[in-house]
């Protein structure tokens, strides 16, 4: 695993911490804006102190000095006090350790990307950092707005960039040999209690045997007499389950999700995980020019069914074909896609959540909806943008509909004990 992304031989190569994923999402918009998380676009400035750098450390552009300072503060558990009320301008050379540490937090340095000594309780540190970051934001101190780097000053663009960044992490895991079979038998609340798997994205790579052939899988399936065990070994990635889990992993990093109680988190995850996992499958299938869902390894479920002689299933055609075709018509940009996912993740009208959670979700639902409206109007103009917004916002209702069809499909297929009994997490999600 790389310690840093080395562009100009300036980065420290000795520290094996995880850094930003090399996977990229690039979008060229009508106004010339281009966002990329690719290694080919090195940073130029540390987001903490504004010194020159060409490296990413702990998932943000940062210099070696700020990287080392942040890590040392967390491991030593040192806390500093600012004598200037939190108003020090670190970017102008003021040496205030308290404000420098706060700026590390608000700039997005990821405590989960640090490799801690064995003698340190990493989970306790990560939990404490989350609390400090929330408190720093909720206190609404003037220092927070002063410390935010230039590319974070626009709140709406910051939301979009953050969502694109999370999506790049999720996509990296989805299109790699990451196969979290150890999570398949857990309760949803147990998965929610764990640190997000997105922080591990750089550990995995794309399997060399991909893409696989649906024809070869069909031959293998027939060879074993239709036994499902050939599909469930650790060497094979069962995307319906993995995508459910990755949908939860994505949600765990969302700011509003972290504010909910464990009970509200579980209720929300049960309700929207199936929707966003199908939305993700459909989006990337559409991006490949497909009319049906095609998994990252090249496997096409509908084609496989026909090759092994299964009769067409109306529910499966709806969830694996109509869902993709709806996105083929709209041709979503990456920004529109991630904002729609965020709106779904903040859906307030779900059963079994508290009133406090519903109010919190409503605020973020409105927030991401406004960001989406402003984005499309900036891209297409006021009138055409409003029309575009009305068109793509309808996809949310459509995918909640498709999500219900996925549940019905599961109920039909659950009568086959060999097919689903080995994936308890599906039972937790699809029987809610």
Could you read off the pLDDT of 145-164 as tens digits, one per residue? 444 444 444 688 889 988 99
Q: Are residues 242 and 285 in the same domain?
A: yes
Same domain, 116 and 173: no
The answer as to whether 194 is a domain residue is yes
* Of 13-22, 165-174, 240-249, minimum mean pLDDT range: 13-22
Q: Any idea what the CATH number is for the domain that residue 420 is in?
A: 1.10.565.10
Rounded to whole angstroms, the Cα distance separating 187 from 121 reads 24
Question: 377 and 352, same structural domain?
Answer: yes
Q: Is residue 187 part of a domain?
A: yes
Look at residue 17 and tell me if it is in a domain.
Answer: no
Same structural domain, 380 and 245 = yes
Q: What is the mean pLDDT of the chain?
A: 79
Residue 211's pLDDT is: 74
Residues 178 and 212 in one domain: yes
Query: What is the pLDDT at residue 234?
Result: 41
Can you give the residue range of the structural domain that contains 287?
166-430
In a domain? residue 5: no
Tally of structural domains, the chain = 2
Residues 241 and 375 placed together within one structural domain of the fold = yes
pLDDT at residue 11 above 70? no
Q: pLDDT at residue 32 above 50? A: no
pTM: predicted TM-score of the whole model, two decimal places: 0.64
Quick one: 99 and 182 in the same domain? no
What integer is the mean pLDDT of 344-348?
A: 94
Give the separation between CA 300 and CA 214, rounded to whole angstroms.
6
Residue corresponding to tokens 């209702």:
397
In this structure, the answer to whether residues 222 and 344 fall within a common structural domain is: yes
Q: Are residues 62 and 200 in the same domain?
A: no
Q: Are residues 93 and 140 in the same domain?
A: yes
Q: Averaging pLDDT over each range in 8-12, 300-304, 401-405, which range is the top one? A: 401-405
Return the beta strands (E) in 14-122 as ranges: 27-28, 34-35, 56-57, 60-61
CATH number of the domain that residue 69 is part of: 3.30.50.10
Helix axes 382-413, 334-345, angle to 10 degrees: 60
- Where does the pLDDT of residue 419 fall: very low under 50, low under 70, confident under 90, or very high at 90 and above? low
| Token reading at 430 | 């699809």
> Which of these ranges, 6-20, 52-66, 170-184, 277-291, has the smallest mean pLDDT?
6-20
Asked if 96 contacts 82 with a C-beta cutoff of 8 angstroms, the reply is: yes
Lowest model confidence (mean pLDDT) among 45-49, 130-134, 148-152, 307-311 = 148-152
Spatial separation of the C-alpha atoms in residues 377 and 374, rounded to whole Å: 5
Same domain, 266 and 297: yes
Q: Are residues 145 and 179 in the same domain?
A: no
């Amino acid at each position: 695993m790389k310690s840093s992304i080395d562009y100009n031989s300036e980065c420290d190569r000795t520290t094996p911490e995880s850094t930003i994923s090399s996977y990229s999402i690039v979008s060229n918009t009508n106004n010339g804006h281009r966002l990329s998380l690719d290694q080919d676009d090195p940073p130029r400035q540390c987001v903490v102190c504004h010194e020159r750098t060409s490296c990413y450390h702990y998932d943000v552009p940062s210099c070696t000095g700020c990287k080392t300072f942040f890590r040392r503060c967390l491991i030593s558990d040192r806390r500093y006090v600012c004598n200037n009320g939190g108003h020090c301008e670190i970017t102008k050379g003021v040496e205030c350790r308290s404000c420098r540490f706060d700026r590390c937090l608000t700039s997005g340095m990821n405590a989960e990307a640090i490799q801690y000594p064995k003698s340190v309780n990493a989970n306790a540190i990560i939990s404490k950092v989350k609390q400090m970051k929330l408190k720093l934001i909720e206190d609404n101190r003037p220092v927070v707005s002063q410390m935010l780097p230039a590319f974070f000053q626009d709140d709406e663009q910051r939301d979009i960039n953050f969502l694109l960044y999370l999506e790049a992490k999720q996509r990296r895991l989805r299109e790699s040999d990451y196969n979290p079979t150890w999570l398949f038998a857990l309760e949803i609340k147990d998965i929610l209690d764990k640190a997000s798997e997105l922080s591990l994205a750089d550990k995995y790579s794309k399997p060399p045997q991909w893409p696989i052939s649906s024809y070869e899988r069909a031959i293998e399936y027939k060879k074993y007499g239709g036994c499902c065990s050939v599909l469930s070994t650790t060497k094979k990635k069962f995307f319906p389950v993995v995508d459910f889990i990755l949908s939860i992993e994505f949600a765990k990093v969302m700011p509003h999700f972290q504010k909910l109680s464990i009970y509200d988190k579980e209720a929300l995850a049960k309700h929207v995980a199936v929707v966003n996992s199908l939305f993700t499958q459909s989006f990337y299938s559409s991006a490949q020019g497909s009319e049906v869902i095609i998994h990252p390894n090249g496997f096409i479920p509908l084609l496989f069914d026909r090759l092994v002689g299964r009769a067409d299933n109306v529910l499966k055609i709806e969830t694996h074909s109509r869902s993709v075709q709806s996105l083929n018509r709209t041709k979503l940009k990456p920004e529109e896609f991630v904002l729609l996912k965020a709106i779904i993740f903040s859906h307030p009208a779900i059963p079994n959540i508290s009133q406090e959670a519903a109010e919190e979700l409503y605020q973020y639902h409105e927030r991401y909806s406004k960001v989406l409206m402003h984005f499309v109007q900036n891209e297409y103009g006021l009138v055409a943008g409003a029309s575009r917004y009305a068109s793509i916002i309808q996809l949310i209702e459509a995918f909640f509909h498709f999500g219900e069809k996925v549940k019905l499909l599961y109920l039909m297929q659950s009568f086959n004990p060999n097919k689903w009994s080995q994936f308890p997490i599906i039972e937790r999600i699809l029987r809610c």
